Structure 1
């Protein structure tokens, strides 16, 4: 777990630097992005008692990984020692019974920390991760996939607005999920293969 966490921290640091070279000095509102992602997660899971809703767990788990991006960023904001930070994260993420088995309540607990304390609670995130059915290995492989997609977005005009999020009528996250299922996530060149596969689909969707 330690190595996986160090890898994710390094990748997040690179992604943030890609968006803004001096990102630590910008004091971006990571906490706000966190609670908004929590709301998006609940949209995919369902909360409307007045209509029929079926949870889309694939999208729920992708939202959990999106939340992790912002959580890592908030933690990296004040600590650039990846090894030491990874050790602390590993201790907090050790598998144990979550405080609740209700995914809605787990999501709200994490959002509440972001809203009231403007911090990222690793233990609340752990509970959400487990309640959503994700292991640390799942988190790692999906995080790497989403990180590659984020770089792909930046390389194809995400900041200037020219990027197309819909490819052949479907969101890029849906394409990502399909591609992840077709590749060997343990391969040394997994990120490069994923980037190339996304490029093929993006081009075909024009």
Structure 2
């Protein structure tokens, strides 16, 4: 198994675990993951900048975070409760290795969004095109994904679904704390996710 497939399998397993935490039979619920993708695409475009009537500088870090969020939804669309993670990972690896890129990032993002709207699908090739044009590789995706997935677990464990979760700690949003925690850790460590969780726990208001 290649390193990339291993990473994709890990992410698929983590996504299923997260979704199962929210609903035990989540893949039978008809959740509109495709809608989450195109809504995130629109939000990302604001972070990248599209208004020709004002000066805008792409917020690359935020764009990357949004791409990671989209990958969560994309994986959720691919998991069906039947197909083995290995097979799903192999298919994803093939698609990610063939980026579909338009003239610029904005237009590639629109291809990704269009697939979600029109076909209710996750267009991994357009996603790979976005990654390529923003300067992101599979290792960046993996680090970002594991970190954000762990934050999602942390949120659920601390009352996110019930509405009691505190999103801003010490003047910073939890996403900002996540970035700082991840930067302080060895992302190749086998217990990376556990260390991220522990780092968040240490910062969270008791």
TM-score (norm 2): 0.93
What stretches of structure 1 of length at least 5 have no aligned partner?
Answer: none
Q: How does 1:182-193 map to 2 (within 5 A)?
A: 182-193=184-195
Q: CA deviation at 1:98?
A: 4.4
The 10-residue stretch of structure 1 (77-86 or 133-142) with the greater mean CA deviation from structure 2: 77-86
Give the equivalent residue in structure 2 for 1:58. Answer: 61
Instruction: Indicate conservation of the 8 Å contact 2:5/2:89, yes or no.
Output: yes
Supply the distance in 2 between the matched residues of 1:97 and 1:125 (Cα, whole angstroms).
7
Q: Is residue 199 from structure 1 mapped to residue 195 from structure 2 by the alignment? A: no
Q: How does 1:137-156 map to 2 (within 5 A)?
A: 137-156=139-158
Report how many residues are paired. Answer: 203
Q: CA deviation at 1:113?
A: 0.5
Q: CA deviation at 1:82?
A: 0.5
Q: Is residue 9 from structure 1 mapped to residue 8 from structure 2 by the alignment? A: no
Supply the distance in 2 between the matched residues of 1:50 and 1:13 (Cα, whole angstroms).
43
SS in 1 for 2:79: helix
Q: How does 1:152-171 map to 2 (within 5 A)?
A: 152-171=154-173
Q: What is the root-mean-square deviation of aligned Cα atoms in Å?
A: 1.5
Q: How does 1:1-206 map to 2 (within 5 A)?
A: 1-77=4-80, 79-94=82-97, 96=98, 98-100=100-102, 102-203=104-205
Q: CA deviation at 1:77?
A: 2.9
Instruction: Indicate conservation of the 8 Å contact 2:48/2:63, yes or no.
Output: yes
Supply the distance in 1 between the matched residues of 2:82 and 2:48 (Cα, whole angstroms).
33
Supply the distance in 1 between the matched residues of 2:176 and 2:158 (Cα, whole angstroms).
18
SS in 2 for 1:77: coil
Supply the distance in 1 between the matched residues of 2:135 and 2:16 (Cα, whole angstroms).
27
What stretches of structure 2 of length at least 5 have no aligned partner?
Answer: none
Instruction: Indicate conservation of the 8 Å contact 1:98/1:130, yes or no.
Output: no
Instruction: Indicate conservation of the 8 Å contact 1:98/1:131, yes or no.
Output: no
Instruction: Indicate conservation of the 8 Å contact 1:106/1:127, yes or no.
Output: yes
Q: CA deviation at 1:97?
A: 5.9
